[in-house]
Amino acid sequence: MKIALITGANKGIGLETARQLAKSGGVQVLLGSRDHARGMEAALKLQGEGLNVTALNLDVTDPASIAAAARAIESEYGRLDILINNAGINPHDGTTKVSEQRLATWREVFETNLFAVIAVTQAFLPLLKKSTAGRIVNLSSVLASMTLHSDPTSGIYDFKIPAYNVSKTAVNAWTVQLAYELRDTPIKVNAAHPGYVKTDMGGPSAPMEIVDGARTSVALALLDAHGPNGAFIHMGEALPW
């Protein structure tokens, strides 16, 4: 039985990722949520579908919460096989101009989208090293791609959402650095672009359904030994950095 932890998993892509991982068979899914009541509600919903899912209180911006969650998993399972850093935010402060976005917004976004990913990964890495095939999946976005943002013919050229985009570019850079460190271990580290999905963040006009938005994370979480390490992936295809 593999043990998987998904952060920010009480709704949206995180919840659907939990559902698909649990349906894959042989995976005990820990549904991380900073709001314990909502996490319990989501876990009960999936349990009602006959799935092996348990709620875990985890606020990724709170060091004490991260440490408590790591202790709980170590005590209960002794290891972690899959970590999906799914939690993320994209607050709107009234401007998309990079020169005008408030510094407070940059700090808020980076705190959750980058620093929390690093903090959570560092806390759980000792447990992942006890796995025979650890997998770390960092939720990124095609909007992180510097190659596409600098190409006037690209479909995302005009989608400049400063703090969010740059935070995800930083997540990609962190992914590459960590993948290099772990290259000679059984652990694989990859970044996933879920797609433009109908979530609270993507909005109702997004072209992809949530069920499809979870597929890339699930595939990277279940990679075999021949799968990529240090890659930026959407639906099995590599994206340009």
Instruction: Enumerate the active-site residues.
Output: 164
Match 């991982």 to its residue by tokens: 21
CA gap 191, 175 in Å, rounded? 6
- Domains contained in the chain, CATH given: 2-238 (3.40.50.720)
Q: Which residues contact 184 (CB under 8 A, 6 or more apart)?
A: none
pLDDT of residue 96: 72
Question: What count of residues does the chain have?
Answer: 241
Instruction: Give the pLDDT confidence score for residue 97 in this predicted structure.
Output: 86
Output the CA–CA distances (angstroms, integers) from residue 235 to 84, 191, 215, 220, in the order listed. 16, 12, 7, 10
Q: Give yes or no for residue 185 having a pLDDT over 80.
A: yes
The per-residue pLDDT for 199 is 61
Distance CA 134, CA 185 (A): 9
pLDDT at 109: 97
**pLDDT reading at 53 higher than 70:** yes
pLDDT over 90 (residue 105): yes
Residues 17-46 have a mean pLDDT of 97
Of residues 22 and 205, more confidently modeled: 22
Tell me the C-alpha distance between 76 and 234, whole Å.
33
Pairwise CA distance, residues 38 & 10, whole Å: 6
Is the pLDDT at 201 greater than 60? The verdict is no
89 versus 207: the higher-pLDDT residue is: 89
Q: Write 231-235 long-range contacts (CB < 8 A, 24+).
A: 231/190, 231/191, 232/140, 232/144, 232/145, 232/172, 232/175, 232/190, 232/191, 232/193, 233/190, 233/191, 233/192, 233/193, 234/142, 234/192, 234/193, 234/194, 234/195, 235/195
pLDDT at 220 over 70: yes
* AA letter at 113: N
Measured between alpha carbons, how far is 172 from 177 in angstroms, rounded to an integer? 9
Is residue 38 within 8 Å of 10, Cβ to Cβ? yes
The one-letter amino acid code at 192 reads A
- Mean predicted confidence (pLDDT) in 46-68: 98
Average pLDDT, the chain: 94
State how far the Cα of 148 lies from the Cα of 185, in Å rounded to an integer: 32
pLDDT in tens, 117-170: 999 999 999 999 999 999 999 999 999 999 999 999 999 999 999 999 999 999
- For residue 186, what pLDDT band results from cuts at 50, 70 and 90? very high
Strand order from edge to edge, sheet including 232-234: 53-57, 27-33, 2-6, 82-85, 135-139, 188-192, 232-234, 237-238
**pLDDT over threshold 80, residue 206:** no
**pLDDT band with cut points at 50, 70 and 90 for residue 209:** confident
- What is the percentage of the chain residues whose pLDDT exceeds 70? 94
